[in-house]
Amino acid sequence: MKINAGNIKKGEFVLYQDKPHQVLKAEFYSPGKGSALMRTRLKNVESGKQVDYTFKSNEIVETIEVVSLEMQYLYKDAENMYAMDKDYEQYTIPLTVAGDAVNYLKEGETIFVYMYAERPLAIRPPATVRLTVIETEDAVKGDTVSGARKPAIVETGITVMVPLFVKQGETIVVNPETGEYTERAN
């Protein structure tokens, strides 16, 4: 489907140089003189490389029709992650497509996979994940700088910066897209 570049939105998929790209950032810019522009940051879904590109707002851009499938995360290895749909069909998704969010996923988590022509383009993890802290230092009494953080290794093996009061064995809530601590789980 063809649209004006001025209508591009974050999260959409477009054809840029005949390759599928996901729009990571779209910012409308109208200089005092001349035509309006759309500043974008595009991620090549095949290579994972990002490029900044400015479209003229009246330029025609080809968008891609993408299907979102609900899947269950199974596991990952050095190069790929694996997920299964509700019909028990297994998909292999390159880590360059999955991004860093896969490091915060536990087996069995529900994710959404964006597909185009039977190929995975990107994943959308859940908004938050609950992870158990397996290793962190104890806070020292009197070490109470406002907003102080310490590293904590969680059950998936990734390190998350957490407040000083978080202890080993506790469950925390993390945003997998940013990798940031949100709160302690009840």
pLDDT tens across 48-92, in order?
Answer: 789 999 998 888 999 988 888 999 999 999 999 999 999 999 999
What fold does the segment set 2-63 form as a domain? Answer: SH3 type barrels. (2.30.30)
What fold does the segment set 129-184 form as a domain? Answer: OB fold (Dihydrolipoamide Acetyltransferase, E2P) (2.40.50)
As annotated, the residues of the chain forming the CATH 2.40.50.140 domain(s) are 67-124, 129-184
Residue 143 pLDDT: 57
Residue 185 pLDDT: 86
User: What average pLDDT does the segment 3-17 reach?
Assistant: 88
Residue 65 pLDDT: 85
What pTM, to 2 d.p., does this model score?
0.74
Backbone angles phi, psi at 32, to 5 degrees: -60, -30
Residues 59 and 72: their CA atoms lie apart, in Å, by: 39
What fold does the segment set 67-124 form as a domain? Answer: OB fold (Dihydrolipoamide Acetyltransferase, E2P) (2.40.50)
Residues 61 and 27: their CA atoms lie apart, in Å, by: 15
Q: Answer whether 39's CB lies under 8 Å from 24's CB.
A: no
Lowest mean pLDDT of 22-26, 36-40, 142-146, 172-176, name the range: 142-146
pLDDT per position as a tens digit, 81-115 = 999 999 999 999 988 888 888 999 999 999 999 88
Neighbours of 40 (CB within 10 A): 23
Q: Answer whether 40's CB lies under 8 Å from 54's CB.
A: yes
As annotated, the residues of the chain forming the CATH 2.30.30.30 domain(s) are 2-63
Tokens standing for 53?
Answer: 């590109």
